[in-house]
A and B are shown apart, each in its own frame.
Chain A
Amino acid sequence: MAVREFAERGADLELVGIQKRFPGFTAIENLDLTIPAGSFFALLGPSGCGKTTTLRLVAGLEEPTQGRILIGGKDVTSTRSHERPVNTVFQSYALFPHMSIIENVAFGLKRRRIGDPLGKAHEALRLVELDHLAQRRPQQLSGGQQQRVALARAIVNRPALLLLDEPLGALDLKLRRQMQLELKTIQEEVGLTFLHVTHDQEEAMTMADTVAVMNKGAIEQMGAPAELYDLPKTAFVANFLGQSNLFSGEVAGSTDTAIAVDAGGARLVVPKARAHRHNGAVTVGVRPEKVSLHVEAPVPSSERNVLGPGRVLDVSFSGVSTQYLVDVPGHGTILVFAQNTGSGPSVGVGAEVWASWLVEHGFGLDDGAVEVERFAADDSTTSIAAQRRDDLVAELGEG
């Protein structure tokens, strides 16, 4: 294979009108995506939504049914995997068990006949602080160390684009947090374009410059993490990225700056700038940490939306904060988080309370009225079970 040096800095990635059909199943319907060079981009979504498929398409391990893939402006749609300037950190790391760490890291360089592969590999290992283990076999490393080797093996090639498929999925929470920090640091150091796939919203939000929330093969919303959290566009995003209290109703009035929604008898005001729709049936919401509880009816004010009275259904203490479930007739159950700062009222189950939030904290979705589900449907397990069953059926059928 020709000697090709890849870009020292990342390259843009563009997916144009991508569709991917598997026999009997369309994994990706119509996907457009642009990732600017040098950014840390996170693709977030529930299990089975097509994240891995997207990555595999980019890596060239799968061919799109339709659409084009451009890396650094060059169409690579029909380029084969080993000819793309792209590297992947696999979920299982996929370190070659029959090679030492250093051989693993040097593998890609050797294939491309890059000069001094071992020197470069050692350098990459130094970057992930594992050079002292260069002669070991992957099995002799801990999970976290393996993960770093996988990273080094990919980075050493200076790919224009680095794909990470839930590289932290197999780690436990503590190690995961630690690795997140390291990953972020390394990305900043080497400046490559990272495309990181995860289903952990906290991970996506703390690490990425840009997050895209994917659902059923399409991207629902994309933007900076705080933006997405602050102003979700769909009920799916509102509940996949953290939790939300959502209320559906008709727009009952509007001013220059705000709309008022009649939801189950209460009047909820949302700033126009924070609402995706300004008339008809709409859904508005607020994050649980933005809601305050009052033991007495709050004085009506144009600055706050108030619901109540309601009754506290459940109080659960989780250390840092306390979660209240409040049943407000006509509005269902409202979730409220109160940090245990030691100030503020502390109410018990059965207490009569009012909930309120600042108008500026509300948001209006782009969806119309939605069947408000407090918790997102249990997609992940359902699909896992389905997948298992499919496997089983395939197995039986084949035997």
Chain B
Amino acid sequence: AVKPTAAADGSATDKSLNWANWAAYIDEDDSGNYPTLQAFEEQTGIKVNYEVAVDDNNTYYGKVKDQLALGQDIGADTVCLTDWMVARWIRFGYTQELDHANIPNIANLSPALRDPDFDKGRAFSLPWQGGFAGICWNKEAFPDGLASVEDLWSSELKGRVGVLSEMRDTMGLIMLQNGVDIAGDWGDAEFDAAIDVLTEQVESGQVRNIKGNAYLEDLKSGDTLAAICWSGDITVINAEAGDKWEFAIPDAGGTLWNDNFLVPIGSTRKTNAETLMNYYYEPEVAAEVAAWVNYITPVVGAKEAAAAIDPELAENQLIFPNEETLSKAHIFRSLSGAEEQKYQAQFQSILLGA
């Protein structure tokens, strides 16, 4: 297929920026303002329209893919998407090449994240936050807590369990529980075995909710008492709705991922987007965001900045995981197009309850 061409940049005159992101993914004060963003606006004069528009990588892609294919504006000048989805965008030519000269702070990018195989040298993307997928539960209902994915299948939780619609997290956790090294060289057999587990739990009604970031609403309403979750989210809803939930990486391990900034092909405000990225790569800013969202920051120096705010923060394993924590987290290996199609279809058919 012909790749679309990038739109011309109008940032010089157009001081605005649309940023699409996931829920509970930026610092937010009680009145619903985003302090770091406000500071950015004051500092640069760029008016940012921050939209919580991503619930799930696939559904977001589904919504914008047609415009992307035509090289049109998708209503966002930068979006934060997960590695594997970013890989697809880059492959299809749906992203604009970043001008590193506009992002001097890229120097603060954690060395481990500089050369992912889907974007050598970070020509097209830049990490926003990373995190774990693990398990979480309602502390009021389960003071004793859960330790493994297996615990989600307990009869006490029947109908009150949620899993993520993000295949790599949900399947990753189950495969880990099955003893599979998800980063390693697994194949259909391993995947099928995990699918069987999930199918059984869904069909039996053990798992009722399969959602994207919307799983937070189910936790809040009480429809879900325990779930496969993303690490930082729990801190955020605890802050919002009372300290009711807890997160843990299961015994058998959790997944580790990164969400990355990218500039969609039809955006006319690439420079503004780069200015924003540069801003969030200030260690102090990164620390402030991290303090709120509790996700792993890719910014070197943020730890020190965080320690300055609150020493305890620097020890938070969700933000600054140590080796031991990291050893429990695994990266889901990348999939070929055919694998993607096949595994996604299998997974989706569970979501559809076939």
Verify whether A and B have any Cβ pair under 8 Å: no
Residues of A within 8 A of B (CB): none
